[in-house]
């Protein structure tokens, strides 16, 4: 099957009207056969034409998922996928960068919490986040006046667009703090927009996810879990409530995902397989004969020092006989167990057996456990933690206090989600434990208060004089 790769490569703004210049690339992508075959739109498509049919509108949405996996191969990194796992993993002291650029930006700056505003990966996080947000705003706007589309497809695409907008803002607000809240495609409105207080950004994230949850169906529109459904939006909504300390709401939403019956915990060797029933949302590799970049980036062969090496602090966190260590950690020198690397993704051959997991069920158990701990439901929260520990092959915990349960959850999340979507970095930030935990571990002892936020990129400050820099980088 041939898949239409439609990208918004050029955007012309004229008198507030957006004209989208589509770059058509009809390429044989065998690994993408589970996406919809969406037909052939013309080379140049105005907004009116994009939203005139189900096929062309769907093409606009699918282009984002394709680019999320394709952009990560760029030289300056990407907002999503391996760049988030690797660079945020460096910030969280899960990883040490051991490559040839050890003494130069951009990599070592993450390890040392000594980022500069011209760091190329920091720029990529901001740039790609707003690139995708802009597309989602265009889709939401176009759907609102669309004619000729079926109601079912309009609802599906609006739900996906609002979910994706919330997803991007979730990472932007966590990485940078206050960020501009852009909800339309007006050049005049957006060229000089200041940073929006983070509580308003969170409110928009939650609003978009509530809408997405209502618009999307329980089932997936693809055979695999490649496009978000109702439960995908619910999973991110549960996380958003946890991060904003709305404990009862977090428990309710995570419980809804767990109780849906759609997903089930798997043995650790099957968690990252493309057909894993634990996966709530995944991204499909789009390059022929290529699995995930995660495997390419982290895995090593032979007695070779890994470019991204797991720290001794992380390795020492695993309990004896924890299957997560034996299955998800690789050692490139069996006689010297210090050369360790992430090995959650293992497929590097031509046959695609792994998709990139974005949300999985284990997180929902930890969200529910933490929310229950905060609500003083100690026994119930402990049970959630023990379900994940049991599949890791280690004994149950037994705690009697809220504080002990929260400490256990922090520990479990550390060994469950290492080198995965920046979970550890964001967990320490939201619980206000970054300085206490990471300052002593900063490799060059360069920790400075406020560096739990990344700097606003220098290019953005130059382009928009209403933006202000985070305090640690003034």
Do 34 and 125 meet the contact criterion of CB atoms below 8 Å apart? Answer: no
Residues with Cβ < 8 Å from 119, sequence gap 6 or more?
A: 105, 106, 109, 455, 457
State pLDDT tens for residues 301-315: 888 889 899 999 999
Distance (Å, whole) CA 461 – CA 463: 6
Q: Residue 446: which pLDDT band, with cuts at 50, 70 and 90?
A: confident
| Domain ranges within the chain, ordered by starting residue | 2-285+357-473
Q: Following CA atoms 14, 15, 16, 17 in sequence, which dihedral angle do they give, to the nearest 10 degrees? A: -50
Strand partners, 357: 282
- pLDDT tens digits for range 254-276: 999 999 999 999 999 999 999 99
Q: Is 90 helix (H, G, I), strand (E, B) or coil?
A: helix
Share of the chain above pLDDT 90, in %: 70
Count CB atoms within 10 A of the CB of residue 203: 15
CATH class of 2-285+357-473: mainly alpha
**For the ranges 22-26, 56-60, 156-160, which has the lowest average pLDDT?**
22-26
Q: Do β-strands 279-283 and 95-97 pair in parallel, antiparallel, or remain unpaired?
A: unpaired
**Tokens coding 366:** 């930890």
For the ranges 223-232, 282-291, 411-420, the lowest mean pLDDT is seen at 282-291
CA-wise closest residue to 374 among 253, 238, 202, 246: 246
Residue bearing tokens 């936020």 = 453
Q: What is residue 290's predicted lDDT score, i.e. its pLDDT? A: 82
pLDDT tens per residue across span 86-117: 999 999 999 998 877 555 567 889 988 999 99
Identify the pLDDT of residue 299.
93
Contact 143, 158 (CB under 8 A): yes
For residue 16, pLDDT over 70 is answered with no
Q: State the chain's mean pLDDT as an integer.
A: 86
Is the pLDDT at 34 greater than 60? The verdict is: no
Token readout for 28 is 């044989």
Which two three-digit tokens encode residue 195? 């940073």
Which of 62-76, 295-309, 385-399 ranks highest by mean pLDDT?
Answer: 385-399
Q: Which tens digit of pLDDT belongs to each residue from 207-246?
A: 999 999 999 999 999 999 999 999 999 999 999 999 999 9
- Residues 346-381 pLDDT 10s: 998 889 999 999 999 999 999 999 999 999 999 999
Predicted pLDDT at 448 = 87
Q: Are 157 and 228 in contact (CB under 8 A)?
A: no
Q: What is the mean pLDDT of residues 399-419?
A: 98
Query: How is residue 256 written in tokens?
Result: 């809804």
């Amino acid at each position: 099957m041939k898949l239409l790769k439609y990208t918004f490569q050029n955007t012309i703004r004229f008198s507030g009207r957006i004209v989208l210049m589509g770059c058509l690339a009809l390429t044989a992508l065998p690994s993408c056969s589970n996406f919809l075959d969406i037909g052939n739109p013309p080379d140049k498509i105005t907004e009116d034409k994009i939203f005139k049919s189900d096929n062309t509108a769907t093409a606009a949405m699918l282009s984002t998922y394709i680019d999320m996996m394709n952009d990560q191969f760029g030289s300056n990194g990407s907002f999503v996928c391996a760049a988030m796992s690797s660079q945020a993993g460096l910030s969280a002291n899960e990883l040490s960068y051991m490559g040839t650029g050890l003494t130069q930006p951009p990599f070592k700056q993450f390890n040392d919490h000594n980022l500069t505003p011209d760091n190329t990966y920091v720029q990529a996080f901001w740039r790609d986040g707003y690139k995708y947000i802009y597309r989602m705003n265009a889709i939401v706007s176009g759907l609102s006046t669309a004619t000729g589309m079926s109601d079912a497809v309009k609802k599906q695409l609006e739900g996906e667009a609002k979910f994706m907008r919330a997803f991007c803002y979730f990472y932007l607000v966590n990485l940078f703090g206050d960020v501009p809240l852009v909800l339309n495609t007006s050049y005049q409105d957006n060229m000089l927009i200041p940073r929006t207080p983070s509580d308003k950004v969170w409110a928009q994230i939650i609003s978009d996810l509530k809408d997405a949850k209502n618009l999307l169906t329980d089932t997936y529109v693809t055979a695999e879990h490649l496009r978000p459904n109702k439960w995908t939006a619910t999973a991110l909504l549960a996380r958003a409530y946890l991060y904003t300390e709305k404990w009862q709401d977090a428990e309710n939403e995570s419980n809804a995902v767990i109780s849906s019956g759609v997903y089930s915990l798997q043995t650790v060797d099957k968690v990252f397989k493309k057909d894993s029933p634990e996966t709530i949302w995944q991204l499909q590799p789009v390059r022929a004969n290529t699995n995930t970049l995660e495997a390419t980036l982290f895995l090593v062969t032979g007695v070779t020092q890994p470019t991204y090496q797991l720290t001794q602090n992380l390795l020492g966190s695993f309990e004896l006989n924890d299957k997560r260590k034996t299955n998800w950690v690789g050692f490139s020198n069996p006689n010297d167990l210090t050369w360790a690397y992430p090995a959650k993704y293992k497929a590097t051959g031509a046959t695609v057996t792994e998709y990139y997991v974005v949300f999985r069920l284990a997180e929902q158990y930890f969200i529910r456990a933490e929310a229950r701990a905060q609500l003083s439901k100690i026994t119930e929260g402990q049970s959630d933690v023990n379900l994940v520990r049991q599949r890791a092959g280690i004994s149950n915990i037994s705690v009697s206090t809220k504080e002990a349960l929260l400490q256990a959850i922090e520990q479990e999340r550390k060994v469950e989600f290492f080198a995965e979507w920046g979970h550890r970095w964001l967990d320490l930030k939201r619980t206000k434990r970054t300085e206490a935990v990471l300052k002593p571990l900063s490799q060059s002892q360069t920790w400075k208060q406020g560096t739990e936020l990344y700097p606003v990129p220098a290019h953005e400050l130059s382009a928009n004089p209403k933006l202000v820099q985070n305090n640690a980088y003034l």
